[in-house]
Amino acid sequence: MANIRGGTIPIMDLAMATGSAGMISLVNSFVIITEYNTKVQGFLVHSVERIVNMNWEEIHPPPKGTGRDHYLTAVTRVDNQLVEIIDVEKILAEVAPVSEEISIGVIDAEVHHKAVSLRVLTVDDSSVARKQVSRCLETVGVEVVALNDGRQALDYLLKMVAEGKKPEEEFLMMISDIEMPEMDGYTLTAAIRNDPRLQKMHITLHTSLSGVFNQAMVKKVGADDFLAKFRPDDLAARVVARIKAAE
């Protein structure tokens, strides 16, 4: 724990959290302060080489064959060197897990009965986040189709319309992460809104990053709703509201 700017925040040894040997000496070490899922925490690291800003088009999924136990969510190249991007949501789920239980009263029997015949499309590059969202929605009763990034989701929807199907009739809604490799949630939403065949899709953006900037972007790209991760009751309530609205 550390007291920073009048607030106490937890500090996690990043090396230890990803399965490596922990820091032996704190001399000349650094703490990276982050905000994820509306919570502030620090990651203890040996050093910070540099800070770079990348476009989401330059972020790619991790190589196939990396297995299920890795902590990578994406990779990119900086100065022609491969840089691994850590799945922070996976680390937080292991070190400081949040409850995935939905409170009594959020879902009633009538809604659950109607949900069984409905499908929800979810998009998230984090395997942990995909599982969290899927378990929550399956508790509501809907069937879940989970995809890994915005590009995959857009291709999936375009294939659907090419087959003569209407995505807004196939899915109750789409719940998409924002920060993803290949294509981020903002770009995905804008692409859907700009395509007459897709634009009726109900879109909720679901992100580990909150703040005024994200909420402003949600309106700019035309998303229907915005939700910070991971709040099972809030997520379930959004789906329940859509089920009732679709009656």
Verdict on whether the full-model pTM lies above 0.85: no
Q: What is the pLDDT of residues 52-74, one digit of tens each?
A: 988 888 898 888 766 556 788 88
Of residues 27 and 172, which shows the higher confidence score? 172
pLDDT at 18: 86
Dump the DSSP string for the chain: -EEETTEEE-EEEHHHHTTSPPPS--TT-EEEEEEETTEEEEEEES---------GGG-BPPPTT--SS--EEEEEEETTEEEEEE-HHHHHHHHSPPP-PPPTTSS-HHHHHHHTT-EEEEE-S-HHHHHHHHHHHHHHT-EEEEESSHHHHHHHHHHHHHTT--HHHH-SEEEE-SS-SSS-HHHHHHHHHT-TTTTT--EEEEES--SHHHHHHHHHHT-SEEEES--HHHHHHHHHHHHHHT-
The amino acid at 239: V
pLDDT at 96: 79
What the chain holds in terms of domains, given with CATH numbers, is: 1-51 (no CATH), 109-245 (3.40.50.2300)
**Spatial separation of the C-alpha atoms in residues 108 and 140, rounded to whole Å:** 9
**Spatial separation of the C-alpha atoms in residues 174 and 209, rounded to whole Å:** 18
| Residue range 101-127: mean pLDDT, rounded | 94
Q: Give the torsion sign (CA, 163, 169, 175, 179).
A: positive
Please say if the pLDDT value at position 138 is more than 90.
Answer: yes
Please say if the pLDDT value at position 35 is more than 90.
Answer: no
| Residue range 1-10: mean pLDDT, rounded | 80
| Residue range 135-151: mean pLDDT, rounded | 96
**Spatial separation of the C-alpha atoms in residues 71 and 67, rounded to whole Å:** 10
pLDDT at 213: 58
| Residue range 129-153: mean pLDDT, rounded | 96
pLDDT at 63: 80
Q: What is the percent of the chain with per-residue pLDDT over 90, rounded to a whole number?
A: 55
**Spatial separation of the C-alpha atoms in residues 35 and 92, rounded to whole Å:** 11
Of residues 72 and 235, which shows the higher confidence score? 235
| Residue range 227-231: mean pLDDT, rounded | 88
Tokens 């902590």 found at = 71
pLDDT at 21: 81
pLDDT at 67: 56
